Chain A
Amino acid sequence: AQSVTQLGSHVSVSEGALVLLRCNYSSSVPPYLFWYVQYPNQGLQLLLKYTSAATLVKGINGFEAEFKKSETSFHLTKPSAHMSDAAEYFCAVGESGGGADGLTFGKGTHLIIQP
Protein backbone atom coordinates (compact mmCIF):
# COMPACT_ATOMS: atom_id res chain seq x y z
CA ALA A 1 0.00 0.00 0.00
CA GLN A 2 1.11 3.53 -0.65
CA SER A 3 0.46 6.76 1.18
CA VAL A 4 1.48 10.39 1.01
CA THR A 5 1.67 12.94 3.80
CA GLN A 6 1.94 16.61 3.07
CA LEU A 7 2.88 18.61 6.13
CA GLY A 8 0.98 21.86 6.37
CA SER A 9 -2.34 22.36 4.67
CA HIS A 10 -1.44 26.04 4.21
CA VAL A 11 1.97 27.60 3.68
CA SER A 12 2.46 31.36 3.47
CA VAL A 13 5.63 32.99 2.16
CA SER A 14 6.57 36.48 1.08
CA GLU A 15 7.14 37.26 -2.57
CA GLY A 16 10.80 36.60 -3.33
CA ALA A 17 11.26 34.22 -0.39
CA LEU A 18 12.11 30.53 -0.52
CA VAL A 19 9.23 28.14 -1.05
CA LEU A 20 9.40 24.76 0.72
CA LEU A 21 6.50 22.32 0.52
CA ARG A 22 6.98 19.06 2.37
CA CYS A 23 6.02 15.60 1.20
CA ASN A 24 6.70 12.25 2.81
CA TYR A 25 5.64 8.97 1.28
CA SER A 26 5.43 5.31 2.05
CA SER A 27 5.61 2.63 -0.60
CA SER A 28 6.27 -1.11 -0.60
CA VAL A 29 8.02 -0.86 -3.97
CA PRO A 30 10.48 1.67 -5.40
CA PRO A 31 8.28 4.69 -5.84
CA TYR A 32 7.61 7.07 -8.63
CA LEU A 33 6.89 10.50 -7.19
CA PHE A 34 5.10 13.50 -8.62
CA TRP A 35 4.24 17.07 -7.78
CA TYR A 36 1.15 18.62 -9.36
CA VAL A 37 -0.16 22.17 -9.15
CA GLN A 38 -3.84 23.07 -9.26
CA TYR A 39 -5.05 26.59 -9.93
CA PRO A 40 -8.59 27.52 -8.90
CA ASN A 41 -11.26 25.70 -10.89
CA GLN A 42 -8.70 24.01 -13.08
CA GLY A 43 -7.29 20.54 -13.45
CA LEU A 44 -3.91 19.40 -12.22
CA GLN A 45 -0.73 20.27 -14.05
CA LEU A 46 2.41 18.22 -13.65
CA LEU A 47 5.27 20.21 -12.15
CA LEU A 48 7.86 17.46 -12.03
CA LYS A 49 8.33 13.75 -11.49
CA TYR A 50 10.92 11.37 -10.06
CA THR A 51 11.30 8.06 -11.87
CA SER A 52 14.48 6.56 -10.35
CA ALA A 53 16.95 8.59 -12.37
CA ALA A 54 18.56 11.68 -10.82
CA THR A 55 17.50 12.32 -7.24
CA LEU A 56 17.29 16.08 -7.82
CA VAL A 57 14.51 16.76 -10.25
CA LYS A 58 13.93 20.06 -11.97
CA GLY A 59 10.47 21.00 -13.09
CA ILE A 60 8.59 23.83 -14.67
CA ASN A 61 8.26 27.37 -13.33
CA GLY A 62 11.55 27.16 -11.41
CA PHE A 63 10.48 24.37 -9.06
CA GLU A 64 12.63 21.44 -8.10
CA ALA A 65 12.39 18.51 -5.72
CA GLU A 66 14.88 16.14 -4.16
CA PHE A 67 14.20 12.46 -3.58
CA LYS A 68 15.67 11.30 -0.27
CA LYS A 69 15.16 7.60 0.20
CA SER A 70 16.54 7.55 3.76
CA GLU A 71 13.98 10.15 4.79
CA THR A 72 11.21 8.90 2.48
CA SER A 73 10.78 12.50 1.41
CA PHE A 74 10.25 14.41 -1.80
CA HIS A 75 10.05 18.05 -0.76
CA LEU A 76 9.31 20.74 -3.34
CA THR A 77 11.32 23.95 -3.40
CA LYS A 78 11.62 27.18 -5.33
CA PRO A 79 14.31 29.75 -4.51
CA SER A 80 12.17 32.84 -5.02
CA ALA A 81 8.38 32.89 -4.80
CA HIS A 82 6.30 34.76 -7.32
CA MET A 83 2.73 35.91 -6.91
CA SER A 84 1.69 33.60 -9.73
CA ASP A 85 2.82 30.59 -7.65
CA ALA A 86 -0.21 30.93 -5.40
CA ALA A 87 -2.10 27.66 -5.91
CA GLU A 88 -2.78 24.21 -4.44
CA TYR A 89 0.10 21.76 -4.65
CA PHE A 90 -0.28 18.00 -4.52
CA CYS A 91 2.36 15.36 -4.00
CA ALA A 92 1.57 11.91 -5.41
CA VAL A 93 3.13 8.47 -5.50
CA GLY A 94 2.71 5.71 -8.04
CA GLU A 95 4.18 2.33 -8.77
CA SER A 96 5.15 3.10 -12.33
CA GLY A 97 6.32 5.90 -14.54
CA GLY A 98 3.03 7.63 -14.28
CA GLY A 99 0.32 5.77 -16.03
CA ALA A 100 0.14 2.07 -15.31
CA ASP A 101 -1.88 2.51 -12.18
CA GLY A 102 -3.79 5.05 -10.21
CA LEU A 103 -1.79 7.60 -8.30
CA THR A 104 -2.07 8.11 -4.54
CA PHE A 105 -2.28 11.79 -3.65
CA GLY A 106 -1.60 13.77 -0.52
CA LYS A 107 -4.26 16.13 0.79
CA GLY A 108 -2.57 19.12 -0.76
CA THR A 109 -0.85 22.27 0.43
CA HIS A 110 -2.31 25.67 -0.30
CA LEU A 111 0.52 28.07 -1.07
CA ILE A 112 -0.15 31.70 -0.23
CA ILE A 113 2.17 34.42 -1.47
CA GLN A 114 2.30 37.62 0.56
CA PRO A 115 3.18 40.78 -1.39
Chain B
Amino acid sequence: NAGVMQNPRHLVRRRGQEARLRCSPMKGHSHVYWYRQLPEEGLKFMVYLQKENIIDESGMPKERFSAEFPKEGPSILRIQQVVRGDSAAYFCASSPTGLDEQFFGPGTRLTVL
Protein backbone atom coordinates (compact mmCIF):
# COMPACT_ATOMS: atom_id res chain seq x y z
CA ASN B 1 0.00 0.00 0.00
CA ALA B 2 1.66 3.17 -1.18
CA GLY B 3 1.88 5.97 1.31
CA VAL B 4 0.54 9.48 0.99
CA MET B 5 1.92 11.02 -2.19
CA GLN B 6 2.50 14.68 -2.81
CA ASN B 7 3.66 16.41 -5.92
CA PRO B 8 5.57 18.26 -6.84
CA ARG B 9 8.17 17.79 -4.12
CA HIS B 10 9.67 21.18 -4.91
CA LEU B 11 7.92 24.12 -6.52
CA VAL B 12 9.37 27.49 -7.42
CA ARG B 13 7.08 30.39 -8.26
CA ARG B 14 7.55 34.10 -8.81
CA ARG B 15 5.50 36.58 -6.86
CA GLY B 16 2.02 36.89 -8.30
CA GLN B 17 1.91 33.43 -9.85
CA GLU B 18 -0.33 30.58 -8.81
CA ALA B 19 0.83 27.47 -6.96
CA ARG B 20 -1.03 24.16 -7.12
CA LEU B 21 -0.06 21.44 -4.69
CA ARG B 22 -1.40 17.93 -5.06
CA CYS B 23 -1.98 15.23 -2.51
CA SER B 24 -3.02 11.64 -3.17
CA PRO B 25 -4.11 10.00 0.08
CA MET B 26 -3.39 6.42 0.97
CA LYS B 27 -5.68 3.89 -0.63
CA GLY B 28 -8.93 3.66 1.25
CA HIS B 29 -8.45 7.00 3.01
CA SER B 30 -11.18 9.55 2.48
CA HIS B 31 -10.00 12.19 4.96
CA VAL B 32 -7.29 14.66 4.03
CA TYR B 33 -5.55 17.35 6.04
CA TRP B 34 -3.20 20.12 4.91
CA TYR B 35 -0.53 21.66 7.12
CA ARG B 36 2.04 24.38 6.55
CA GLN B 37 5.51 24.38 8.08
CA LEU B 38 7.39 27.65 8.13
CA PRO B 39 11.15 27.63 8.75
CA GLU B 40 12.02 26.86 12.37
CA GLU B 41 8.34 26.32 13.15
CA GLY B 42 6.09 23.37 13.80
CA LEU B 43 3.32 22.36 11.46
CA LYS B 44 0.24 24.57 11.42
CA PHE B 45 -3.12 23.06 10.55
CA MET B 46 -4.75 24.63 7.53
CA VAL B 47 -7.75 22.62 6.37
CA TYR B 48 -9.52 19.27 6.79
CA LEU B 49 -11.46 17.78 3.90
CA GLN B 50 -13.46 14.71 3.11
CA LYS B 51 -14.45 13.73 -0.37
CA GLU B 52 -16.14 16.78 -1.94
CA ASN B 53 -16.53 18.52 1.41
CA ILE B 54 -14.53 20.99 3.45
CA ILE B 55 -14.97 20.01 7.09
CA ASP B 56 -12.76 22.55 8.84
CA GLU B 57 -10.88 25.40 7.22
CA SER B 58 -10.18 27.36 10.36
CA GLY B 59 -6.45 27.42 9.64
CA MET B 60 -6.69 28.67 6.08
CA PRO B 61 -5.78 32.27 5.30
CA LYS B 62 -8.92 34.12 4.29
CA GLU B 63 -7.58 35.24 0.93
CA ARG B 64 -5.70 33.58 -1.93
CA PHE B 65 -5.80 30.07 -0.44
CA SER B 66 -8.31 27.38 -1.36
CA ALA B 67 -8.50 23.61 -1.14
CA GLU B 68 -10.58 20.90 -2.69
CA PHE B 69 -10.86 17.14 -2.57
CA PRO B 70 -12.95 16.03 -5.53
CA LYS B 71 -14.77 12.75 -5.87
CA GLU B 72 -12.10 11.58 -8.25
CA GLY B 73 -8.46 12.55 -8.17
CA PRO B 74 -6.11 14.10 -5.67
CA SER B 75 -6.71 16.85 -3.17
CA ILE B 76 -5.49 20.23 -4.39
CA LEU B 77 -4.20 23.13 -2.32
CA ARG B 78 -4.24 26.24 -4.46
CA ILE B 79 -2.45 29.47 -3.66
CA GLN B 80 -3.21 32.41 -5.90
CA GLN B 81 -0.93 35.42 -6.37
CA VAL B 82 1.81 33.97 -4.22
CA VAL B 83 3.95 36.22 -2.03
CA ARG B 84 7.34 35.55 -0.46
CA GLY B 85 5.71 34.82 2.87
CA ASP B 86 4.04 31.78 1.31
CA SER B 87 7.42 30.07 1.03
CA ALA B 88 7.15 27.01 3.26
CA ALA B 89 6.80 23.26 3.30
CA TYR B 90 3.23 22.12 2.80
CA PHE B 91 2.33 18.71 4.16
CA CYS B 92 -0.68 16.61 3.44
CA ALA B 93 -1.93 13.86 5.73
CA SER B 94 -4.66 11.30 5.29
CA SER B 95 -6.77 9.16 7.58
CA PRO B 96 -9.16 6.30 6.83
CA THR B 97 -12.09 7.32 8.99
CA GLY B 98 -11.31 10.61 10.66
CA LEU B 99 -10.90 8.87 14.00
CA ASP B 100 -7.53 7.26 13.33
CA GLU B 101 -3.98 8.50 13.15
CA GLN B 102 -2.95 10.76 10.34
CA PHE B 103 -0.39 9.51 7.85
CA PHE B 104 1.81 12.24 6.40
CA GLY B 105 3.19 12.70 2.93
CA PRO B 106 6.75 13.87 2.17
CA GLY B 107 5.66 17.47 1.65
CA THR B 108 5.94 20.06 -1.09
CA ARG B 109 8.53 22.75 -0.57
CA LEU B 110 7.32 25.99 -2.12
CA THR B 111 9.80 28.75 -2.81
CA VAL B 112 8.52 32.13 -3.93
CA LEU B 113 11.09 34.32 -5.63
Q: Which of A9, A96, A97, A105 contacts B43 (CB 8 A)?
A: A105
Residues of chain A whose beta carbon lies under 8 Å from any beta carbon of chain B:
4, 6, 9, 34, 36, 41-46, 49, 90, 92, 96-108
Listed by A's residue number, 17 A-B pairs whose Cβ atoms lie within 8 Å are A42-B106, A42-B107, A43-B104, A43-B107, A44-B104, A46-B101, A46-B102, A90-B42, A98-B99, A99-B96, A99-B98, A101-B48, A102-B35, A102-B58, A103-B45, A107-B41, A108-B42
- Which residues does chain B contribute within 8 Å of A98, judged by CB atoms? 95, 99-102
Bound together, the chains give a CA A105 to CA B58 distance in angstroms of: 15
Q: Taking CB as reference atom, which chain A residue is nearest B43?
A: A105
Q: Taking CB as reference atom, which chain B residue is nearest A46?
A: B101
Q: Tally of A-B residue pairs with Cβ under 8 A?
A: 76
Q: Which of A41, A42, A103, A108 contacts B102 (CB 8 A)?
A: A103
Closest-CB distance, A99 to chain B (whole angstroms): 4
Besides the known contacts A43-B107, A98-B100, A102-B33, 15 further A-B residue pairs in the complex with CB atoms under 8 A apart = A4-B42, A6-B42, A41-B107, A43-B4, A43-B104, A44-B91, A44-B104, A49-B101, A99-B95, A102-B48, A102-B59, A103-B45, A105-B42, A106-B42, A107-B41
B27 at the interface (CB under 8 A from A): no
- Which residues does chain A contribute within 8 Å of B91, judged by CB atoms? 43-44
B72 at the interface (CB under 8 A from A): no
- Which residues does chain A contribute within 8 Å of B4, judged by CB atoms? 43
- Which residues does chain A contribute within 8 Å of B43, judged by CB atoms? 44, 90, 92, 103, 105
Which 5 A-B residue pairs are closest in the complex by CB-CB distance?
A102-B45, A99-B95, A105-B42, A43-B104, A98-B101
